Structure 1
């Protein structure tokens, strides 16, 4: 049964906004779904054929779950999530769980598929060990370094000289983890208060985090270590660039850009800063797109990784703020669509989307229009409040995004496949679009934006396959 979404929340989200209660509703629902998903992994392992998941793997999963349960009881007195809960709802645990479920539900797996599933399930042991260590529980366990890497989520990665799988003994006591491997010196890892860990060993690479978006906010992981951080490339898909491994100089550039992002977000409305604070849980650095010459960018979100933003290194705080606005809307709408059915459109139907060269299904058109509507609002607010030398750029971007949304809205509004709640949502999008006319962009920017969309539509039309002949 889908959770109830109040009408006020639906209308707020339709305007690309969302008050504290509405954002909290999305977060609670996503966190609940994540815990159910993880329980589903354990249940699927219990039910799987031994040829898919041998009894030893299932028994280890039970042990890991018991350790997580013990860690979950050690909830902090300040009301924050327990260390175990924080690890389970971490965005990148979602892709791992989905991958495990696909493997556990397989039929007649190959030897390669069985090995992959065993590796994936073994990662849960690392998740449980980190949660228990954060909870202050003393333990000793055995973890597997895969292809020379033992990833301990949120802490770091131990690199081994052996490219094959290597078993390491991991012990924790009073904030110190000891990692022991055959024929190698022990690696001592010190857990820092709150987040992070450090070690003097050359074999250890610590996880990295940016400061909180605002003073007092939780640090923001810049996660370049998690093995499940980037989706696999699919043929014929609009793919993200590959994962990046920022060096010290690149991390400084991330820090400089990130440090100015909150102030820029606020110029587009306090709600833009609020939604970023409430919904964003980690950043995943991506490689710069090929051929970008330092001027392009790449970003995205993943439905199975609620709260994660994947992005190439941002050039400026303004550019990164716009990326946040754009991608947070995808996060909001994807979460809402888990709770409410907005439409029942044929997924094979295709529509013109002026921000993409390819045709889009109705769902893709809705997602794109929603994100661009928020960007149009963001840059209009900046144009009305920012200093004069930045105003023209803000007006130009506002005009472009608003023209793109205006070209997409007729197909969204005219669909007979909208549900009653979907009609309410899209009507709010239209109302937000129309309210922008109260403060129009200068005429030149509007004219150029309309000409741009007209040219893009003409090019798109030329690329469409000819209609099949009709029999009369």
Structure 2
């Protein structure tokens, strides 16, 4: 049983803030949960009957785990590298999928279980490469690719392809039947180089702050999207070409400076909570050589630290996405530590940023993220000189603020809140009240009020005008 979360921690998180100690608290708890989940996968594989977990798959899983342990034992640096690989966001979806196949109530699917468990082998191989540990290992490429975390991916033929991997003296040699071998040379920190066109190097963005960590821009991992379909409004995953990577990098290079006006907590959130970015296809479809006109982004509960996003149109859009999505990461991590409400999942609530009715938890997340955005846009509007950037910031701030004001009363007035949830809600009210005291250009505020009123009227019309919560 975990200790109660201090009142001041809940309150500051409700204000959409969070000290470095609070953010580390959330991250440490998520890391502990990941390690317990991995232990559960190993135990479930050992206990599962042969018709659910084939003996060969069980042995391969044990061999991969033994290689991880050997890599960890080689020294403090490699041990930290192995731990970071196991805690990487996209290991979470794999582990949950593996546990479901091993323990689920549905009929056994030994072939699917074997394919899923085999995903640990390339992770173990990557850990051993990073630790400088020699090894020989049989890996399996599926769907035409073999992804090695932090290194890159080998393109193979269609279907399932065995790949023999041999690492020694700083070189990784990958060989498939009937094909020439590919020699891969790891680069320091992230990525690996190979002369073969069959190899795609992993890519990472520079640290947000000096001394920070690289942020993988992962378009290779097979678990980067959910096993189930993406929710409406989300595009599928995409592979990045060199030009797209350069555009991501250009937008990223100015992001820290744009986050800064929002206060040190906005930088701290991104540095502490963001562990990888997963590129999505642009909503309007790609335009050759041009940044996309629209955007979409999201997070996944089972992939702590991952932000899925289409290519940002510019650095301001990138900063906005990070502010938005780190709030979802924070709130989901907090809810894992302590229940915030006991509301049912029925979609019945009006959210001014969505055309469809939202469940209480969806409304909670939406209000929380929009509250942080309203705060960031206000601070940004005050920091930039007069011109189009300031006008955009005032417009965004006013709209987000009015949207929060239309939905926040539903949360505060709910009897489904737990004591912890009530404290978080009190912090949200405090943050919103501060925003309402800010002087906003009247024209921007009037447009925002009209926008929310029109949105509410259209929503009520679509819902038949009754029987739903309209905030």
Q: TM-score, normalised by structure 2?
A: 0.94
Compared CA separation, residues 74 and 350, structure 1 to 2 (3 A)? farther
Residues 1:24 and 2:19 aligned together: no
Identify the residue that residue 196 of structure 2 maps to in structure 1.
201
Q: Which moved more, 1:366-375 or 1:139-148?
A: 139-148
Partner of 1:242: 236
Equivalent residue, structure 2, for 1:119: 115
Structure-1 separation of matches of 2:392 and 2:178: 60
CA offset at residue 107 of structure 1? 4.8
Q: How does 1:300-449 map to 2 (within 5 A)?
A: 300-348=298-346, 350-389=348-387, 390-449=389-448
Q: Tell me how far apart the structure 1 counterparts of residues 339 and 262 of structure 2 sit (CA, whole Å).
A: 30
Cα shift readout 1:10-64 (whole Å, capped 9, x = no counterpart):
1111110101100000110011111111111111111212111012211221121
User: In structure 1, what is the equivalent of residue 8 of structure 2?
Assistant: 8
* 1:264 aligns with one of 258, 270, 277: 258
Q: CA deviation at 1:233?
A: 5.0
Shift of 1:424: 0.7
Which residue among 134, 138, 142 is the counterpart of 1:142? 138
Instruction: Tell me if structure 1 keeps the 8 A contact 2:190–2:202.
Output: no
- The residue that corresponds to 1:170 in the other structure is 165
| TM superposition shift of 1:2 | 3.5
Shift in Å, 1:466 = 6.7
Residue in 2 that maps onto 1:189: 184
- Farther off after superposition, 385-394 or 397-406: 385-394
Contact 1:330 1:371 in 2 (8 A): yes
Local SS of the residue matching 2:174: strand
Change (3 A) 1:220 1:440: same
- Paired residues in the alignment total 462
Other structure's SS at 2:340 match: coil
Preserved CA contact (<8 Å) 1:71 1:83: no
Deviations 1:131-173 (A, max 9, x none): 122112111111111132111112111112x323221211111
| Whole-angstrom CA distance in 2 between matches of 1:174 and 1:35 | 31
* Structure 1 pair 108–405 and aligned structure 2 pair: CA distance change class (3 A): closer
Q: Which residue of 2 aligns with 1:37?
A: 37
Q: How far has the Cα of 1:395 moved from its partner?
A: 1.1
Provide the rounded CA distance (Å) in 2 between the counterparts of 1:292 and 1:392: 28
Cα distance in 1 between the residues matched to 2:40 and 2:382: 50
Residue aligned with 1:244, SS = coil
- Counterparts of residues 69-88 of structure 1 (less than 5 Å): 69-76=69-76, 82-88=80-86
Q: Which moved more, 1:86-95 or 1:165-174?
A: 165-174
| 2:459 corresponds to 1:460 | yes
Offset of 1:81 from its aligned partner? 6.1
**Residue aligned with 1:354, SS:** coil
Name the CA shift for 1:387/1:281 in 2 (closer, same or farther; >3 Å). Answer: same
Deviations, residues 106-138 of structure 1 (Å, cap 9, x unaligned): 35636xx43222111111111111112211211
Aligned-partner Cα distance in 2 for 1:67–1:340: 36
Q: Secondary structure at the match of 2:118?
A: helix
User: 1:64 matched to which residue of 2?
Assistant: 64
Contact 1:240 1:298 in 2 (8 A): yes
Contact 2:233 2:296 in 1 (8 A): no
Report runs of 4+ in structure 1 exceeding 4 Å deviation. Answer: 465-468
RMSD, aligned CA:
1.8
SS in 2 for 1:225: coil
How far 1:101 moved relative to its partner?
1.4
| Separation in 1, partners of 2:190, 2:176 | 25
Question: Is the aligned partner of 1:130 residue 2:126?
Answer: yes
- Structure-2 residue corresponding to 1:280: 274
Residue-by-residue CA offset, 1:154-197 (whole Å, 9 max, x unaligned): 2111112x323221211111321111222222111111122221
Unaligned segments of structure 2, at least 5 residues: none
Distance change in 2, residues 1:456/1:292 (3 Å): farther
Unaligned 5+ runs, structure 1:
none
| Cα pair distance change 1:125/1:280, threshold 3 Å | same
**Helix, strand or coil for the counterpart of 2:119?**
helix
Q: CA deviation at 1:465?
A: 4.2
Q: Alpha carbons of 1:40 and 1:239: their partners in 2 closer, same or farther (altered >3 Å)?
A: farther
1:83 CA drift (Å): 1.9
Alpha-carbon distance between aligned partners in 2 of 1:52 and 1:239, rounded to the nearest angstrom: 36
TM-score, normalised on structure 1? 0.94
Q: Secondary structure at the match of 1:388?
A: coil
Contact 1:4 1:339 in 2 (8 A): no
- Give the Å deviation of 1:460: 0.6
Distance 1:73 1:16 in 2: 40
- More displaced stretch, 262-271 vs 369-378: 262-271
| 1:207, distance to aligned residue in structure 2 (A) | 0.8
2:247 aligns with 253
Structure 2 contact 399–445 (Cα < 8 Å) conserved: yes
